[in-house]
Amino acid sequence: TDAAINSGNSGGPLVNAQGQVIGINTAVASKAQSIGFAIPISSVKGILKSISEGKEPKRAYLGASYISINSQIRKKYNLDVSKGALVKSRKGNAIVYGSPAQKAGLKDGDIIIKIDGVEVSKNSSVSSLIGEKSVGDTVEISYIRDGREKSTRATLEEYHK
């Protein structure tokens, strides 16, 4: 989305041309010109529902570090795909021990291409797709390993810091 966000707008709605709220403005990059950040409304809805029911919001967790695939990542890792998320960590293990990702059999180097049938892309990242889910939901993850497409299921757990 392309929208002007000024400092002081944090917490305010991000609306589209139809007047629909599509996000909540969160921050403006101070050292960059015209770069702002917003939380997608799909992520906010679950939090609002929990709060309105008097519950503490819980965030679903997969337990995998990944890098969104773009042209630079594709070239650096010599990948055959142009979309998806490469399971990789800049340091340490990409898969958290005991996490839903490990239980589902995901491994470092896998490329996640779909979650519940939705393509992982620039507009639908792994974190945004998982963020739309609830703790306890089971998701189908399509991925590529060693050039072959596979799928697995993971039951999401609660995120703990």
Question: Taking the model in full, what pTM does it have?
Answer: 0.75
Contacts of 62 by beta carbon, 8 Å cutoff, 6+ apart? 99, 100, 101, 126, 130, 154, 156
Is 5 inside any structural domain?
Answer: no
Count: domains in the chain? 2
Chain position carrying tokens 């810091």: 161
Express each pLDDT in 54-84 by its tens digit: 988 888 899 999 999 999 999 999 999 999 9
What is the Cα–Cα distance from 44 to 23, expressed in whole angstroms?
8
Q: Are residues 115 and 69 in the same domain?
A: yes
Q: Give the phi and the psi of residue 150 in degrees, each rounded to 5.
A: -135, 170
* Nearest of 36, 40, 7, 5 to residue 21 by alpha carbon: 40
For residue 151, the domain's CATH number is 2.30.42.10
Q: Are residues 127 and 80 in the same domain?
A: yes
Q: Are residues 21 and 78 in the same domain?
A: no
Q: Which domain holds residue 23?
A: 13-52
Express each pLDDT in 114-146 by its tens digit: 999 999 988 888 988 998 888 999 999 999 999
pLDDT of 4 above 70: no
Query: What is the dihedral sign for C-alpha 111, 133, 151, 122?
Result: negative
Q: Are residues 29 and 66 in the same domain?
A: no
Residue 157: the pLDDT is 95
Task: Give the amino acid at 70.
Answer: N
Q: Are residues 31 and 86 in the same domain?
A: no
Q: Residue 13: pLDDT band by 50, 70, 90 thresholds?
A: confident
Is 65 inside any structural domain?
Answer: yes
Q: Are residues 125 and 77 in the same domain?
A: yes
What is the chain's mean pLDDT, rounded? 87
Q: Residue 148: pLDDT band by 50, 70, 90 thresholds?
A: very high
Q: Are residues 74 and 41 in the same domain?
A: no
Is 128 inside any structural domain?
Answer: yes
What is the Cα–Cα distance from 99 to 32, expressed in whole angstroms?
36
